[in-house]
Chain A
Amino acid sequence: MATKREPERFTISIGPQHPALKEPGSFQFTVDGEIVTKAYVRLGYAHRGIEKAAEQRNWIQDLYLLERVCGICSHIHATAYCLAVEQLAHVEAPARAQAIRVLVAELERIHSHFLWIGVSAHEAGFETLFMYSWRDRETVMDLLEGLTGNRVNYSANILGGVKCDINNEQTTAILDGISFLEERARHYFDVLTNDAMFLQRTRGIATMSRTQAEVMGAIGPTARASNVARDVRVESPYAAYKQYPVKMALDTRGDLEARFVVRVNELFESFRIIREILATLPETELAARFPRRVPAGEVVMRVEAPRGELYYFIKSNGSDKPERLKVRTPTICNMTSVIKLAVGHQLADVPMILAGIDPCFSCNDRTVQLKDAGNQASTMLMWEELRLHGIQYYQGLNK
């Protein structure tokens, strides 16, 4: 690596490849000793052109494509898409299907939050917590596998309903599983709020005031840790959240510890909702008939992913394919807060601040910016030019 040592500027670049990042993203931190004085982020390394790809596939194929936007919160993407398309087609999924959607979504939230506890403990250098929380996460992965047949991309949804039903055995398994997880979550809550060494790394670090959170557009647990009462499940209940209302987990402190507290409290809320759903699962069909073509129209759908608000915009022109599909994932909204909050903190705190928003780079990359390595000039290419560029590039490779 080339060194850049100027009299007063010492820039550390974290990424695109770096042990702290599980996915590619580029961060430049200008440091004065150990203190970060300037931070810069560049995203787009994991851009996969999913939106464009969605326009080329029909409504049913898109379901499976969009489930792969994120490897962790895959179900919530499919749910958002299904709800939106159902709204366009004026089809309503039966009550049992909606309840199962919520059930899987909450199991997914548990899986995501356990994963996150591990990742942030790892960033802080607390490997034991990392190993233990990931071991416990296996329980919920097994439950999801038992329910849907898959550990990661569950494919529980179909347009107009869900694919999988729940029988008595599965109900017992889920109840047993979440009892175990609840006990573990209590233990982690104890560790995260009482372990003096861990608190040195979280308490009072990266404190974001309520105003700051609102100005920077933070969402999800990150915002709720700064006492911003925003949760799509509460403000506009979708699927079966009307029948199973959610109590929002809030914290006033806004530091990293508060984010841990909020997320663990959300776990408890998820356990409660799952128990409630299993106790009062409505007896209806699993899916409604769904047409192949969807009437022309536009729809906006917001759902609460484990990381925050997930936003879908879909435009249909009456054919069997969407005309335009736009996805905005929570990470992109929270990224501003990382860059702002990192300044003034120690370099050692940066991985924790970044992990604090639970980033997911490959989800948020909706665009890619090409920069000339020499003069750093960036160019914007339209679709046709990009296509041409691609063809020329690969022809050049073949020569």
Chain B
Amino acid sequence: MNGILAFVALLVFPGGLFLLAGGLAYEWVDRKLLALLQNRVGPRWFQPLADTIKLLAKEEIIPDKANKLLFIGLPFIALAGGLTAALYVPMAGIKPAYGFPGDLIVTLYLLSLLTLCMGLAGTNTLDRFSMIGATRTLTQVFSYEAPFLLALLVPAVTAGSWQIGTIATYAQSHWLILVQPVGFVVALIGLMGKLEMPPFDAPEAHTEISAGALTEYSGRGLAFFQLAKAVELIVGLTLVAAIYLGGVSNPLWFLAKTLALLLALAGIQSLLTRLRIDQTVGLWWRYGTILVLLQWLVLILLKRM
């Protein structure tokens, strides 16, 4: 019986199918909202799915000098990272499928896997645009990763547990956004950095370096990278909503809170101009990190008292 449940958890819910469908749906909502804010029509509801199917059906061109194993393997690892991370997160308002003390850290690193894979993929293909894109991707990781991690650890310390399930239960009775607004903002903006959304899209600034690290990717590899990004979007939103926005105790709350967050993301995306990579690094280390450290200081002082 347990075996079947585990299988279902991995393949249907919360991993596997549900996550892929949810990721694509959220990607569509994001694109549609952004389009509406920019006075465009935007894609139809099945567009992300259609894009994925089209890419899967296409030939995958592997550059001559690239390491074939890495080139084919990296998209899978990136997608696997996102799918695995979902197992520890209260997807759709239902308790995490798995959990152990400290799974918050593991989840955060699983979510970073996508960025690392993209960086590696960029350097692996040796293309000039990919190289610059990969350098920027990795530079960006070093700027947002620490503040993002710190921002999600503040609630963990408040809740007294580093297990997402426990924090989420604690958060259901405490709207942490009210007491730790800075942490929330840093976490949300950090998520945008992770997903390379505008204004943090310097690594794939197409007016400068085409598609950045993924320039040489086509067909299946590109489809998996895009799926991984879609999955990461929904997992990241769930994580932030569960921790900061009073938890996601049922599917309805889950929908309302994550979509509200997505609306905020779309708004930020449409309002801001792309940051240059040096400006991104400056923003995170000059403001993001300092702010989140101040949040920590307040927390420590309050805990002492």
Residue positions of A touching B, CB distance < 8 A: 1, 3-5, 10-13, 18-20, 31, 33-34, 121-128, 131-132, 135, 195, 197-198, 200-201, 346-351
Contacts and interface: CB of A to CB of B under 8 A. Distances in A.
Contacts of A195: 273
A201 B278 CA distance: 12
Interface of B: 37-40, 65, 126-129, 131-132, 135, 198-199, 201-202, 205-210, 270-279
B207 A20 contact: yes
A19 B206 contact: yes
A125 B40 contact: no
A1 B128 contact: yes
A351 B210 CA distance: 12
A10 B130 CA distance: 13
A200 B128 contact: no
Contact of B273 (A18, A131, A198): A198
Nearest to B271: A128
B208 A20 contact: yes
Contacts of B208: 20, 347-348, 350-351
A200 B273 contact: yes
A34 B131 CA distance: 11
A3 B126 contact: yes
A165 B136 CA distance: 56
A197 B275 CA distance: 8
Given A1-B127, A19-B210, A201-B273, A125 B38 contact: no
A200 B127 contact: no
Nearest to B206: A19
Contacts of B277: 34, 346, 348
Given A1-B128, A200-B273, A125 B198 contact: yes
5 contacts: A3-B127, A5-B126, A11-B128, A125-B207, A347-B132
A200 B278 CA distance: 11
Contacts of B275: 197, 200
Contacts of B209: 12, 347
Nearest to A355: B207
A123 B207 contact: yes
Contacts of A3: 65, 126-128
B4 to A, nearest CB: 47
A132 B127 CA distance: 35
A125 B39 contact: no
B171 to A, nearest CB: 32
Contacts of A201: 273-274, 276
Nearest to A347: B208
Nearest to A135: B39
A351 B207 contact: yes
Contacts of A5: 126
Contacts of B37: 128
Contact of B205 (A10, A13, A125, A198): A125
Contacts of A127: 38, 198, 270
B141 to A, nearest CB: 16
Nearest to B136: A34
Contacts of B270: 127-128
Given A125-B201, A348-B276, A131 B132 contact: no
> Which among A31, A121, A127, A201 has the highest number of chain B CB atoms within 10 Å?
A127
A19 B210 CA distance: 6
A276 to B, nearest CB: 32
A31 B128 CA distance: 11
A132 B132 contact: no
Contacts of A351: 207-208
A33 B138 CA distance: 13
A25 B37 CA distance: 33
A350 B278 CA distance: 15
A135 B35 CA distance: 13
B273 A197 contact: yes
Nearest to A12: B128
Given A125-B205, A126-B274, A348-B208, 13 more contacts: A1-B127, A3-B128, A10-B128, A11-B128, A12-B129, A31-B132, A33-B135, A124-B273, A124-B274, A195-B273, A200-B273, A347-B209, A351-B208
B157 to A, nearest CB: 33
Contacts of A12: 128-129, 132, 209
